Structure formats: C-alpha cells, structure tokens
Chain A
Amino acid sequence: MTSSQTIGPFFHNALAWAFDPGAGTVELVGRVLDGNDQPVSDAMVELWADGATGRDGFGLLRQPTDEAGKFTFRLPTPSPGAPLAHVCVFARGCFNQHFTAVFPHTMSHRLLDAAPAARRSTLVAIKESETRYQWDLRLQGPSETVFFEYE
C-alpha cells in the first residue's frame, strides 16, 4: 500500500475549491488543539453528515482551521441515534489523517460503544443551544480525541 505523508502547511489554494461549511441549521463550532492545548491554525477538517451535499455535489464538507484553530460547519439536523458528523482531520505535523466522529449527546451507538468508556466524552459535543454545538478536537493530551481505524 502507498504510505501516508503529511498534508503540510500549503494545501489551502489547492483544496479551496471544496471549502464549504454546509448550509444546514445546526452550527458545529470548535477548535483543533495540540498536546499543549495550543490552536492548530493550519489543519483541515473534512466531514460528512447525512443530507449535507458539499460544494457542487461533492458529498463532503471541508474547512481549514483559522488562526485560532477554529472551524465552523452548518449541518442538517441529525437523525435520532446518528452522529452529528463523521470527521477526518489533517495537519502539518500529522503524518496520517485521523478519523473520528462527533455526537450531539451521549447515546448508544456502535462507534461510541467501541471507544473506551473513560474517553467516550471526547466524541460528544457540548450543546450550547437547540441549533449550536461546540466540540474541540484534541490531537494529543489528557483529553485526546478518540480516533478510529478501519477493519
């Protein structure tokens, strides 16, 4: 298989054609943080959620993080029992992409159940209002986000 290499810091112009936060009514805001809780200002977040079509029907939503490490997406209202979105993050200093997911609240779901109980909360957003969720993605540290691998 072909090995992964870092996305590096200079991807923006090439990948910007598909930068699209979505047009749904549920806002998902958050930051990508490193092991010192410092913002990662050159990450790229891709996510997909049922009903979000992406730029030109691409199928994915994609946003770079800003200087404060922040990202904002506007997602469709999630179906009961479903995550807000499946997420993949890339950054300079990451050799590999990292797959994860964000849920609107704790629920019984096979992805959540697969995560160690003590770390499960890293996959659950904070509900700030009916239409706004906050969720930080931590690449490293005591609250490191749970990342998945496929089989």
Chain B
Amino acid sequence: MRFHPLGLGERPNDIHPPYKSTGLRGPREPRILVRHELVATRGVDAPRAILRANDSDLTAHGSSQPQGQAITVAGRVLDEDGSPVRDSLVEVWQCNAAGRYAHSKDNHEAPLDPNFLGHGKFMTDHDGRYRFKTIKPGAYPWGNHENAWRPAHIHFSLFGNVYAQRLVTQMYFPDDPLFPFDPIFNGIPDGAARERLISRFSLDETVSGTSLGFVFDIVLRGRGATPMGV
C-alpha cells in the first residue's frame, strides 16, 4: 500500500486562529515523513464479536423512539483508488435533536433525551458499504466566540485496513445556514474538500413513512491495497 501526501487544502492547518483552542494545541514543527510500514506495522482487524445488538440503530437504545427526525445514513468507505475498504470498523457519535450530548461535560441547557445515547459502531461490508439509523442531530452553541453555534454534524471514527488510514472526521447536512460561521468546518482550506464533508439527501435511502436518507461517502488515504482473496 502506498500513501501520497494529502492534497493541497485537504488537511486543516494545525493552528487556525478562528478555532481558538488550536492556538496552544496545534504543533508548530513540520511532521517528519516516514515510510508508513515503520509506524503502521499493524493492520486493524476488528473482530465482528465487538459489535452489539443495535450498535447500528441509534434509535433503539431506549424504551421508545427518541425525539427528532428519524434518518438513515449510508455510504461507502473507499481508498484513493476507489477500491472498497472492506470489513473495517466505523464508530459514530452525535448530540440529540435538541443539540445536547449525553455526556457529563456537556453543559448546554437543552434537554437530554432518555431514549437517545447518541453513539454506535458497525463494520463496512465487502463493498465498503455501511448504513445506520439515527435521528438528525441539532445545532449546538459552544464557547469559541460570541454566539458560536456548530452546524449539525455526526462524528465519525474510521480505522481503514491499516492504521495509517485512521481518520476522525465530522459529517454535515446539506444547506446548513451555519456553515459560513463555523471555524471547524472552515478550518479545511479547500472549498471542494469542505463540500465533501456534507452528506447529500437521498430518496433511495429514504424509507417511505419512516425516515429520511442521507448518503456520505468517505475516502481514506492509501492506494494499491492488495485485493483480498487474490
């Protein structure tokens, strides 16, 4: 497997003054280029036994349906060649429909939802596909600057097939009016790269009478993976 440098503008700068906490947490020294085999010696091969019932249905964690708009999120995880990243673990987390995380450090005064924990995990299939059920998260305020609000988003954590492909990112929803004001979304210099974090509405993934569908495809670093079964 080979890793090419990230495209210009695809990687956020480690220090991005509009996102204040990058000021003291962003490294200033350049990264040292090394062969990925030196570091990512281990493939990530999460056994399916780690998956629990309803890990991919975030609407099924309480005694009844959570508040909010039921949605399905689906997509494919691919590498730079467009080849599927198979049997690969994905973790997701999000706030509830009111914009509150079920987390002890979330002080936002929006209500908790006893029927929504807001996290799940699943594996991609042989074609790199994944699908999970949840509710559309709300926007929430944060302390970065006066009247700061995060656009609605779902956090994604991906492992790929070797650890060098590791990616933590956020999926956004189409046409969010908060995009121009969010220093995290806008920390990605390239506009087209920002657009790639926005899911698209999909009538195909919309379930009649039940839930709206959104599609979010993810491309991990790395090309030239050895095809499995060859």
Contact = CB atoms under 8 A, between A and B. Distances in A.
A17 B32 contact: no
A14 B13 CA distance: 26
B131 interface: no
Interface in B1-60: 2-7, 10-14, 16, 19, 21-29, 31-36, 38-47, 49-50
Contact of B45 (A55, A59, A96, A147): A59
Contact of B168 (A7, A42, A114, A145): A7
B205 interface: no
B169 A57 contact: no
Interface string A34-59: 11101010100000100000011111
B121 A17 contact: yes
Nearest to B37: A150
A132 interface: no
Main secondary structure of the interface of B (DSSP, over half): loop
Contact of A151 (B26, B33, B101, B169): B33
Interface stretch (B64-72, B122-130, B206-214, B215-223): B215-223
Main secondary structure of the interface of A (DSSP, over half): loop
A102 interface: no
B178 interface: no
Given A149-B34, A150-B36, A140 B28 contact: yes
B32 A146 contact: yes
Nearest to A101: B39
A13 interface: yes
Contact of B27 (A6, A8, A17, A140): A140
A151 B36 contact: yes
Which of B23, B101, B120, B168 has most A Cβ within 10 Å? Answer: B168
A15 B157 contact: yes
A88 B117 CA distance: 26
Contacts of B164: 150
A56 B91 contact: no
B119 interface: yes
Contacts of B39: 86, 99, 101, 111, 148, 150
Given A13-B93, A115-B32, A3 B26 contact: no
Given A48-B42, A140-B26, 11 more contacts: A2-B197, A2-B218, A5-B184, A14-B121, A35-B23, A58-B47, A110-B35, A111-B38, A114-B34, A148-B34, A151-B5
Closest 3 CB pairs of A and B: A93-B21, A14-B119, A14-B93
